[in-house]
Amino acid sequence: MIVITGATGNVGRSLTASLVSAGHAVTAVARGTSADLPNGTGIIPVTVDLTAPSAAQSLAASMAGAKALFLLVPGVGAGVDAPALMETAATAGVQRVVLLSSQAVGTRPGTAAYAPMAAIEDALTRAGLEWTILRAGGLASNAFAWGPALRARQTVFAPYGDVALPAIDPLDIAEVAAEALTGHEHVGRTYVLTGPEATTPRQRTEIIARAIQQDLAFIEVSPDDAREQMLQFMPAPVADATLAILGHPTPEEAQASPDVEKVLSRPAHSFADWAQRNAPAFR
């Protein structure tokens, strides 16, 4: 049994499907309904809010007898009691935890927005369990946020139109996570997961246009306007930290990491691969 949190999201759905098709039983954790889970036998849906004070206690029964846990926390991990989760996992006999973290924990140490995720990494590496940390750069699936304006007005509105970043396909994160959960050579390692090449928002718009075979316009919005939009979904420190990466990436953030290819022995998927696979969402 492998416990997967965030099982109904971009990463978790692919990971659940991949583990189940490899013959693993999976406990799929989210707050919502199991309707968003992939089809397949061997999936036990469990409803838990990871930010609730009782989260660790609620997961204790699911973790009993599980050999591994994939820990995907909401947002940047605020409100998650990682030490309690680790203690519950260790008590339940879970041997291994694979954490989806953020590249910015490494590239922007001391930034308040990433302190909760840094604390979760800390709790994990101190727990006495086998661990692997996956520090992801920006996800290709962030482009889903462009969907409503793209479909209604055939236009993408985004800040920093000409700043390039190597967006990571959530499917690659899921495949690296599956390797880390089930293989043996990734214990005690921290991987930086990015796409194979940096693309700008303007280029990503052109790539989606090709995938859906429609003309799309790109309109650059000011960082202030983008921030106002982002504040509807995230707290101000996270919006500011995200905009800092989007507008002023460090050299490491702007560069493709070799780690997906190292783990999977194949190149990371490009943004075009992701757009092609997800074209129906933009039509």
Ligand X SMILES: NC(=O)c1ccc[n+]([C@@H]2O[C@H](COP(=O)([O-])OP(=O)(O)OC[C@H]3O[C@@H](n4cnc5c(N)ncnc54)[C@H](OP(=O)(O)O)[C@@H]3O)[C@@H](O)[C@H]2O)c1
Give the footprint of ligand X on this chain (CB under 6 A): 6-12, 30-32, 48-51, 72-76, 100, 102, 136, 138-139, 141-142, 170
Considering beta carbons, is residue 79 or 214 the nearer one to ligand X?
79
Considering beta carbons, is residue 214 or 258 the nearer one to ligand X?
258
Considering beta carbons, is residue 142 or 190 the nearer one to ligand X?
142
DSSP output for 162-199 = T--B-PBPHHHHHHHHHHHHH-STTTTEEEEE--SS-B
Considering beta carbons, is residue 164 or 214 the nearer one to ligand X?
164
From the CB of 167, what's the least distance to ligand X, in Å?
8
Considering beta carbons, is residue 6 or 201 the nearer one to ligand X?
6
Q: With the C-alpha atoms ordered 174, 169, 282, 225, is the resulting torsion angle positive or negative?
A: positive
From the CB of 74, what's the least distance to ligand X, in Å?
3
- In angstroms, the first-to-last Cα distance of the chain is 38
From the CB of 205, what's the least distance to ligand X, in Å?
17
Residues forming beta bridges with residue 141, ordered by sequence position: none
Which residue's Cβ lies closest to ligand X? Answer: 9
Considering beta carbons, is residue 31 or 153 the nearer one to ligand X?
31
Residues forming beta bridges with residue 218, ordered by sequence position: 156
From the CB of 192, what's the least distance to ligand X, in Å?
10
Helices (H) and strands (E) in the chain, counts: 13, 9
From the CB of 99, what's the least distance to ligand X, in Å?
9
CA of 47: how far to CAs of 32, 59, 233, 262, 274, in Å? Answer: 7, 9, 22, 34, 29
From the CB of 272, what's the least distance to ligand X, in Å?
18
Considering beta carbons, is residue 110 or 128 the nearer one to ligand X?
110
User: Which secondary structure element, helix H or strand E, spans residue 133, and what is its range?
Assistant: strand 130-136
Amino acid at 97: V
CB proximity list for 182: less than 8 A, separation 6 or greater = 2, 19, 22, 24, 68
From the CB of 181, what's the least distance to ligand X, in Å?
16
CB 137 within 8 A of CB 169: no
